[in-house]
Structures are given as C-alpha cells and as structure tokens.
Amino acid sequence: MGAQIVPPAGRGAYCFRIHGQIYHRTSHLHPAQAGEEKSAQLYVLDSELVTCRRMERCENSKCNPELMRSIDEVIRRVNPFAAAYTMMWELEQQVLHERRA
C-alpha cells in the first residue's frame, strides 16, 4: 500500500493520518520467470493458464480444478481490479501486434 503519510502534531499514542489518495503497489505486469506468477499477475494471463498455474502450486494440490476455474470466473466477472488487469493485457497484446506489423 502506498500513501502520503502525514504525522499529526503533538504528543500521544502513535498514529498517522493519510493525506490524499491511497493506492496499492503491484509488482511487474509479468513475472521474472514463467511459472512464478503471483497474485495480480495471474489476472493478466489466460483463464485456463491461470488455473494450471494455480494447480501447480503445492498448497493447491488437493483443490478441485473445476472449482478453481469457477472461482477465477467469478473474480474476473465481479472484481473491478481484475478487469483493469485484463484491459492491461489487451493493451499489451495490441502493442505487440502493432510492433510485428
């Protein structure tokens, strides 16, 4: 999380006041190495590939792949942040296509 933190004047218990807009810092759009996607990076990928990547993680080894697919579909449908990452992916694809042409 990032914000401009403004310490209040005076003495007393530690606290802080956030001034301006709060924002969430994310990592790179793509991981350094394929297969190491984390959190937000997964929404840039194709849904099927995301499910495969999630199922490859040891902590998900006993999860139902169909349920994982369904959860991904719901998140992509209702979460506005997932939609923003999808738009970034589409923009990236457009730029790559223009560079090849």
Average pLDDT over residues 40-46: 69
Average pLDDT over residues 72-92: 81
Nearest to 38 by CA among 22, 59, 18: 59
- pTM of the predicted model over 0.85: no
| pLDDT at position 51 over 80 | yes
Find out whether 83 and 44 touch, Cβ atoms under 8 Å. Answer: no
3-class DSSP assignment, residue 22 = strand
- Residue-level pLDDT at 67: 94
Confidence of residue 82 (pLDDT cuts 50, 70, 90): confident
**CA–CA separation, 38 and 44 (whole Å):** 11
3-class DSSP assignment, residue 2 = strand
- Residue-level pLDDT at 70: 93
Instruction: Give the chain's mean pLDDT.
Output: 78
> What b-and-e string marks burial along 62-73, b requiring 16 or more CB atoms within 10 Å of the CB?
eeeeeebbeebe
| pLDDT at position 19 over 70 | no
